[in-house]
Amino acid sequence: MDALLHQVFAGLASGGIYASLALALVMIHNATNHINFAQGEMAMFSTYIAWSLINIGVPYWAAFVATIVISFFAAAAIERILIRPVEKAPVLTVVSVFIGLLLILNSVAGWIYTYTIKSFTSPFPSEPPFGNKFVSSHELGAIAIALFVLVAMYLFFRVTPLGLAMRAAAENPASSRLVGIRVGWMLALGWGFAGAIGAIAGMMIAPLVYLDPNMMAGIMLYAFAGALLGGIDNPWGAVIGGFLMGVLENVVGALIGTELKLTVALVLIIIVLLLRPNGLWGHKVVSRV
Amino acid sequence: MNLHHLKRAIMALFALLALTPSAHAEKKYDPGASDTEIKIGQTMPYSGPASSYGTIGKAEAAYFKMINELGGVNGRKINLISLDDGYTPPKAVEQVRRLVEQDQVLFLWQNLGTPTNSAFHKYVNSKKIPHLFLATGATKWGDPKNFPWTMGGQPTYQAEATIYAKHLLKTKPDAKIAVLYQNDDYGKDYVKGLKDGLKDKAQSMIVAEQGYETAEPSVDSQVIKLQSSGADTFFIFAIPKFAAQTIRKTYDIGWKPVVYVNNVSSAVANVLQPAGLEKSVGLLTAQYFKDSHDPQWANSTDVKQYLDFMKKHHPDGDPKDSNNAYGFMQANLLVHVLKACGDNLTRENILKQATSLKNLELPMLLPGIKINTSADDYFIIEQLQMARFDGKEWRLFGELLDY
CB distance from A119 to chain B under 8 Å? Answer: yes
Instruction: Please tell me what DSSP assigns to residue A128.
Output: P
DSSP line for A39-99: HHHHHHHHHHHHHHHHHTT--HHHHHHHHHHHHHHHHHHHIIIIIGGGTTS-HHHHHHHHH
Low-confidence ranges of chain A (pLDDT < 70): 1, 284-289
Of B183, B212, B274, the CB nearest to A119: B274
pLDDT for position B226: 93
Q: Do B221 and A133 touch (CB under 8 A)?
A: no
Give the CATH fold of the B37-155+300-372 domain: Rossmann fold (3.40.50)
Q: Which residue from A minimizes the CA distance to B316?
A: A114
Q: Do A209 and B221 touch (CB under 8 A)?
A: no
SS3 A227: helix
ipTM: 0.85
- Please report how the helices A235-256 and A216-230 are oriented relative to each other, as an axis angle in degrees rounded to 10: 110
Residues of B in contact with A212 (CB under 8 A): 52, 241
pLDDT tens by residue, B112-122: 998 899 999 99
Please name the helix (run of DSSP H) or strand (run of DSSP E) that holds residue B261, with its range, or none: strand B258-261
Of A6, A118, A128, the CB nearest to B224: A6
Q: How many CB pairs under 8 A join A and B?
A: 95
pLDDT for position B123: 96
Q: Do A3 and B228 touch (CB under 8 A)?
A: yes
Q: What CA–CA distance (Å, rounded) separates B338 from B169?
A: 42
Q: Do B217 and A218 touch (CB under 8 A)?
A: yes
pLDDT band with cut points at 50, 70 and 90 for residue B23: very low
Report how far apart the first and last C-alpha atoms of chain A are (Å, whole number).
55
pLDDT for position A288: 62
Q: Among candidates A103, A34, A47, A54, which has minimal Cα distance to A74? A: A47
Residues of B in contact with A259 (CB under 8 A): 183, 211
Q: Among candidates B106, B75, B23, B35, which has minimal Cα distance to B348? A: B106
For chain B, domain boundaries: 37-155+300-372, 158-287+386-402
Q: Do B221 and A212 touch (CB under 8 A)?
A: no
Q: Do B225 and A7 touch (CB under 8 A)?
A: yes
Task: Find which of A258, A263, A264 to mutate to test the B interface (most B CBs within 10 Å of its CB).
Answer: A258
| Residues in B 210-239 with any Cβ partner in A closer than 8 A | 210-218, 220-222, 224-225, 227-228
Report the CATH number of the B158-287+386-402 domain: 3.40.50.2300
Task: Find which of B44, B46, B51 to mutate to test the A interface (most A CBs within 10 Å of its CB).
Answer: B51
Please name the helix (run of DSSP H) or strand (run of DSSP E) that holds residue B193, with its range, or none: helix B185-198
Residue B235 has pLDDT above 80, yes or no: yes
Residues of A in contact with B52 (CB under 8 A): 114-116, 212
pLDDT for position A116: 79
pLDDT for position B190: 95
**B280 and B247 Cβ atoms separated by less than 8 Å:** yes
Distance from CA of A214 to the nearest CA of B (A): 7
Average pLDDT over residues B18-41: 77
Q: What CA–CA distance (Å, rounded) separates A8 from A12?
A: 6
Q: Do B220 and A14 touch (CB under 8 A)?
A: yes
pTM above 0.90, yes or no: no
Instruction: Please tell me what DSSP assigns to residue B183.
Output: S
Distance from CA of A23 to the nearest CA of B (A): 18
CB distance from B74 to chain A under 8 Å? Answer: no
pLDDT for position B50: 76
Residues of B in contact with A114 (CB under 8 A): 52, 55, 318, 321
Q: Do A2 and B254 touch (CB under 8 A)?
A: no
Average pLDDT over residues B149-157: 93
Distance from CA of A65 to the nearest CA of B (A): 24
CB distance from B240 to chain A under 8 Å? Answer: yes
Q: What CA–CA distance (Å, rounded) separates B40 from B50?
A: 22
pLDDT for position B11: 60
Average pLDDT over residues B231-257: 93
DSSP line for B124-161: HHHHT--EEEEB---GGG--TTT-TTEEE-S--HHHHH
Task: Find which of B91, B210, B225, B293 to mutate to test the A interface (most A CBs within 10 Å of its CB).
Answer: B225
Neighbours of A103 (CB within 10 A): 13
Q: Do B252 and A6 touch (CB under 8 A)?
A: no
Task: Find which of A116, A127, A204 to mutate to test the B interface (most B CBs within 10 Å of its CB).
Answer: A116
Of B47, B211, B253, the CB nearest to A259: B211
Q: What is the widest separation between alpha-carbon atoms in chain B? A: 97
Q: Which residue from B minimizes the CA distance to A219?
A: B217
Residue B167 has pLDDT above 70, yes or no: yes
Same fold, B37-155+300-372 and B158-287+386-402: yes
Residue B18 has pLDDT above 60, yes or no: no
| Residues in B 195-214 with any Cβ partner in A closer than 8 A | 210-214
Q: Do A250 and B221 touch (CB under 8 A)?
A: yes
Residue B373 or A1, more confident: B373
pLDDT for position B17: 53
pLDDT band with cut points at 50, 70 and 90 for residue B15: low
pLDDT for position B108: 97
**A246 and A265 Cβ atoms separated by less than 8 Å:** no
Which residues in B339-371 are b (16+ Cβ under 10 Å) and which e?
ebbebbbbbebbbbbbbebeebebbbbbeebeb
pLDDT for position A250: 86
- Per-chain mean pLDDT for chain B: 90
Of B213, B221, B321, the CB nearest to A10: B221
